Structure 1
């Protein structure tokens, strides 16, 4: 009996190095793409790493040790932009192949990628992350079977996000978030804020409150002072008067002066980052006044779509892989300098950013109304997301009103309606997301039906189908006697033409006559009214049918005399009109005596004669 020699790390190292040398012929390219086809490296014995048993922990550790030794040696000898760095990409592809077949730990390839990200600058991390994105489907194929694998993905993405600046690398941050969303299922709780914590660490700092100098507090200058001082006093007084005039005009329009609005405006960020702060009445009143003043100021200042124009100008560069091209047009951290405040107020993109924050906060407040808190999903929510605060009726009306005003303002402009529709769609979906979170994140997916249950359900369906077929055959036997009746009875009676063919004008004319005869013998007023309604109904239905093929005969009718005139031919109508004397001839014009065919023939002859003359 042959004894299997345990695989040592030195033997595996030699095996991996020979595979990497062979990979240079299988994949001549030195770039990340395309991935290495590891199956083409398998030798004639059918073993990739030699005699390594599946699931053997000691041999798996030997493979891990050998892989790390080659990885660190290559990482220390070549830069990421060197052609020789392709050895690391090939090594990672080989380890991914081995991890899927339990020849090494499944999370080993991700652990090495994490080490690689830690060793690189931000520019190098972009290249490493491009490799990670290109192998995403292969990496997450067995993520559900390896709990350690998803933890490594979560850790390396979070560590990378901590290194990145959202102001300078917004596109790269977005790539990381998209990779995480694609790697984890939608119902995974790793990305859910179950306790509903707010981002209170996001503090917006701004300059101290700017105090307005009232005219009464201004320096008083003696009229007898020298001329230069008097001139300066007049200049100061004029400036104060202009400032007071501007302040009065702004207050009359419903907005505040710029210096007064500055601290009020930036104080709104305290509530945006920590909504429970508004549970105190004083803060809530300040928030209402500040938001109303901000919206009034937005409506007054001229709109300068500066950010939007710059985004359009650099749209081509943004679509390229140059992440730095977008950084100059987007800055998630506000610039709170007083010198820039007036320019920011005129920026349409800045206004929309602030107002969308207000809509999010208002939607949160509207969930705390008495009606909203009585909903079943709120009653069953976690204790951390159940607030004792209840929005009062007056505050609810204010919230609905200011929300409507913001919505109307956002819809102004050329692309306003499109922009608001996009925002409204996102907020509507966010409400469903919040509800799902409050219901303790019920799973979206269901377990697959077991094969045994599927077969049992199929056999039960077949049995039910046979039972229904038997019932149908019995019922058909019970009603079979109907077809054995004589002519004009049973089913044969239902097949008579008059039961399915449409009525004619003659039918409605006869019905009108019968109603007229019954009307002569009617006794009560209600019976007479019903008969009159029947006559009107039959007349209208007969006229509708006659309009299709007897349109020329409609002039013969007299109101209340039935439909008999429609049944007469044109010759009979002409003779009747001639016997009626001059009045009859006047009432029935000569051209009416012609049939429809004769009139069409006359028209055709006139057209022919006209063409010949031409």
Structure 2
């Protein structure tokens, strides 16, 4: 059958449009080519007004666009790509053809050559030609061009067409598989249509009564999924409530049945334990229609998400029955006694939701939405007035009569505002400047507890092992830090505490007693030969006990409480085990040291704090001073005489005694 002349014109214009999409490098050029094919006397020339197309030419343009979309769809299917992503081979712009064509038609609508319904109709054709699983791409283009469709020249004729296209798309989408895309469609309509659009307010209050829930008849002796007998009466009454939820006005006629069903459901929810399923714990909620089989009801009542959906349905029904509505005049009204029942049931539902914090958090957005719905219903009953929502634009600002004054200077903080916080009153300034921050105002135990001895001595050990800080006199010479650390040392090792105090509070002296294995070798004083391996250090009166204490490792720094406890026995042959096996030697050495120190303090007016001592003159005439690692003699003359007397060897009264052990020197 030969084609008519009209069909030949459409085919010629279709081929020319596809060739223009391939050759042109901008949407404006495509629009001019399209107009030259449909109406040669109409050209888009910048901002110059364009005469609108006649109805016959507009119908011809619509047919051409339909043919072009069909051919692009066939080419995209052959290439195996989406319709909105197909680009014509060897095109000059490299852009997809369908969005390029829609942009050209939107430009014609803004110029006035075509009305705003033309690009909306083309968008509707694209959505209809796209499979459901690929509709996200063309709808994404629609969302991107929202402002163009909201322009006054386009929206007036495009709103109804786009609304029809979106409603058709919503009917095609699956409520469970495409819930996210359906939400995007609803949000697009809410942004496209103005708030006062009557097509979106549902003035008549129609309900979806066609959404019926099938209810099966349980067999006799049937068991549920948990192995319990199916409660047929409860099963029928529970799922019969869905018909009431879908058609709330019908609840007035059979209120007693509805009240008994809700009461029975709430009692059953109270008895059944809640199982937090994977769907309930997930933040992604899918709107799916539940199955209504008799064997599944026992499991569904334990599902937290299922229970929340039922409670929300009850709240929606109760709000509808309580709220006034003009359309209710045709329905039987609730009696005062029935209204009391509604309030009691609503209180039971909200009380049930507050019983579990997770349910209360989930129903909080639903309660807020119901309050907004009630205000929305009152606004519709008032005839949708514009005053509460639309306000006139603010008048333009008048020029200032005088230049702005310089900003006032901030009041400088007074002496009471030590940390620079000023709040306007002296008392508030004093309170906010007591400490630098809130953490500083807390007691030590609230800030994380006291530091252990190991934590306090760790910087001192690092300072001793760091050659750069060996002459710096850092924390080991700090008076404040030394005082805090020596308090902790006194609770753990009294000999280390006394040695550090006699050295002027030097923490390095205490560190050599506590952690000898972690300290560097002590430098020897000038002019003195090195000590023998078995020779004791001068001033160390504890003997073998001090050697055992010095040999005790302290690599793993203990806390104060752990250090005061008795150590556990270790393997024999180690220096640690030797120190533990001779506790009486260590105790006797500490007792002798303390006795000598106490006697010296009692007989001398010198203080226990370190005093400068005169340098001693050697036989060669040179002055000698204590080395950096030696302890100074801080006792008085009486104490030194006592030490000399004690250091003299005892004269034997009987037979000659053996010579003293050369491994021990006399006290200095």
Are 2:52 and 1:56 equivalent residues in the alignment?
Answer: yes
CA distance in 2, matches of 1:39, 1:613: 99
On the 8 A contact 2:28/2:104 being kept in 1, the answer is no
Are 2:341 and 1:398 equivalent residues in the alignment?
Answer: yes
On the 8 A contact 2:269/2:301 being kept in 1, the answer is yes
On the 8 A contact 1:95/1:108 being kept in 2, the answer is yes
In the TM superposition, residue 302 of structure 1 has moved relative to its aligned partner by 0.9
On the 8 A contact 1:262/1:338 being kept in 2, the answer is yes
In the TM superposition, residue 10 of structure 1 has moved relative to its aligned partner by 9.0
On the 8 A contact 1:278/1:284 being kept in 2, the answer is yes
CA distance in 2, matches of 1:210, 1:264: 16
Q: Equivalent of 1:410, from 343, 346, 353?
A: 353
On the 8 A contact 1:38/1:93 being kept in 2, the answer is yes
2:212 counterpart residue number = 203
On the 8 A contact 1:167/1:330 being kept in 2, the answer is yes
Seen in structure 2, the aligned counterparts of structure 1 residues 354 and 51 have a Cα distance that, compared at 3 Å, is same
Q: Equivalent of 1:301, from 254, 265, 272?
A: 272
On the 8 A contact 2:234/2:264 being kept in 1, the answer is yes
**Structure 1 residues 111-130: aligned runs within 5 Å:** 111-130=121-140
Are 2:149 and 1:139 equivalent residues in the alignment?
Answer: yes
Q: Equivalent of 1:285, from 256, 260, 266?
A: 256
CA distance in 1, matches of 2:264, 2:392: 56
Q: Equivalent of 1:356, from 298, 312, 318?
A: 312
Return the TM-score normalized by structure 2: 0.49
In the TM superposition, residue 65 of structure 1 has moved relative to its aligned partner by 4.9
CA distance in 2, matches of 1:10, 1:299: 71
CA distance in 2, matches of 1:13, 1:204: 50
Q: Any gaps of 5 or more consecutive residues in structure 2?
A: 1-8, 44-49, 89-95, 402-606, 610-668
On the 8 A contact 1:271/1:277 being kept in 2, the answer is yes
CA distance in 1, matches of 2:307, 2:132: 32
Seen in structure 2, the aligned counterparts of structure 1 residues 413 and 87 have a Cα distance that, compared at 3 Å, is same
1:20 counterpart residue number = 21
Moved segments of 4+, more than 6 Å: 8-15, 40-43, 47-50
Seen in structure 2, the aligned counterparts of structure 1 residues 426 and 613 have a Cα distance that, compared at 3 Å, is farther
Are 2:242 and 1:269 equivalent residues in the alignment?
Answer: yes
Q: How many residues align?
A: 373
Q: Higher helix fraction: Structure 1 or Structure 2? A: 1
Partner SS state of residue 120, structure 1: coil
1:72 counterpart residue number = 70
Return the TM-score normalized by structure 1: 0.53
Q: Deviations over 1:323-365 (max 9, x none)?
A: xxxxxx6353220011111100100110110111001111111
**Structure 1 residues 91-490: aligned runs within 5 Å:** 91-142=101-152, 146-208=155-217, 258-280=231-253, 283-309=254-280, 311-312=282-283, 330-367=286-323, 381=326, 384-443=327-386, 446=390
Q: Any gaps of 5 or more consecutive residues in structure 1?
A: 1-7, 27-36, 214-238, 248-256, 316-328, 368-372, 463-611
RCO comparison, higher one (Cα < 8 Å, 6+): 1
Partner SS state of residue 105, structure 1: coil
1:591 counterpart residue number = none
Seen in structure 2, the aligned counterparts of structure 1 residues 425 and 40 have a Cα distance that, compared at 3 Å, is same
CA distance in 2, matches of 1:66, 1:276: 50
Seen in structure 2, the aligned counterparts of structure 1 residues 288 and 13 have a Cα distance that, compared at 3 Å, is closer
On the 8 A contact 1:385/1:438 being kept in 2, the answer is no
CA distance in 2, matches of 1:423, 1:445: 23
Work out which of the two has the higher radius of gyration on C-alpha atoms and give 1 or 2: 2
Q: Deviations over 1:242-268 (max 9, x none)?
A: x9xx99xxxxxxxxx833311111111
